Amino acid sequence: MRLLVTAACILAPILALGAEPPAVITLLEGAAVLFRGTSRYAFTEGVRVQSGDIIEVDQKGLVQIEFADGAILSLGSGSRFYAGSLQVAGGGGGISEFYLMQGWSKFATGVAAAPFRYTTPLFSLSTAEATVVMQISESDARMFVESGEVRFADGFAKGAATSPVRVRSGEFYSRRAGQKGAVAPRPIGNFVAVVPKVYLDNLPPRIARYKDREVAPRRIEELTYAEVEMWLKSPPAIRQPIMQRFVHKADEPEFRQALIANMKFHPEWDRIVFPEKYRPKPPPEAPLAKPPSSSPQPQARSGSTPASDVSDAKGAPAAVDGTGGRSARNQ
């Protein structure tokens, strides 16, 4: 059963690729890795991004992803990105789901681009036409809207076009963990000083050179628990789809021991690691019928006669003295 689940998880994005818009890596600078299925890959420009892919970028790296509908998504220094699902513009009203757990990112979408939701640990935004720069860390999140507008929700929630908070062109949003977010009319703090210089300019479209030339990533090796630990401990909306591809690795000793040691962070693995705990228990056996008692009835003492069997000549019970004989008055 585990093999069937794993095969389905690996084949699903491959089979779905023909139904998805080409999402192509058109720019790669520095070091970055691709997690696909249960393997780690090296990739170059021209590789197609699939639903379920995880991309991790080095502190000095840069990855740009472009879509056939004109949208551009850039992953900058220290990015940890998950492509939950990819949707095509005009493909039935679906929305692409992207997750940025940490790092820098910039995106630009036009009126013809498919809408997408970009979710982080501290906020989630929804957009159909905007250019945005953001920085995400464990303790805070910052976002500047260059053009257009976005609507978002605080926390790890699903931002939507109807979300109440709106950030317009030129405005800045920031939020610290455990606090409410705030919108300012311009960037505050050191945001402008630390933003990657490449993000001070427009993202360059480069998809034309790769649109008809597909490049395959190069598989390096199987992923370890340590490499995907952050993703397996992420919120349920991320970790539960990701866990399906790793089900078979619960049989590998090292992976299994790491799962057990961290079970409180992903309790859904308990059913996979210890299936015997969740098997239906047999019904209790019916109690055996108690056999009838075979103990003998008490017998009268030898040499004595029950008083009820002693009667005088007239049929009346005879009085019995203390020695078992008839009393003198009945002699």
Please tell me the distance from the alpha carbon of residue 97 to that of residue 88, in angstroms, as a whole number: 12
pLDDT in tens, 16-74: 344 444 799 999 999 999 999 999 999 999 999 999 999 999 999 999 999 988 899 99
Please tell me the distance from the alpha carbon of residue 14 to that of residue 225, in angstroms, as a whole number: 24
pTM attached to this predicted model: 0.77
Protein fold of 12-209:
Jelly Rolls (2.60.120)
Please tell me the distance from the alpha carbon of residue 206 to that of residue 203, in angstroms, as a whole number: 9
Average pLDDT over the chain reads 82
CATH 2.60.120.1440 residue ranges for the chain: 12-209
Helix (H) or strand (E) holding 194: helix 191-194
pLDDT in tens, 210-257: 877 889 999 999 999 999 999 999 999 899 999 999 999 999 999 999
pLDDT in tens, 115-147: 788 999 998 888 778 999 999 998 899 999 999
Joined together, the tokens standing for residue 141 give 């999140």
Query: What does the pLDDT read at residue 310?
Result: 44
Answer yes or no: is pLDDT of 150 > 70.
yes
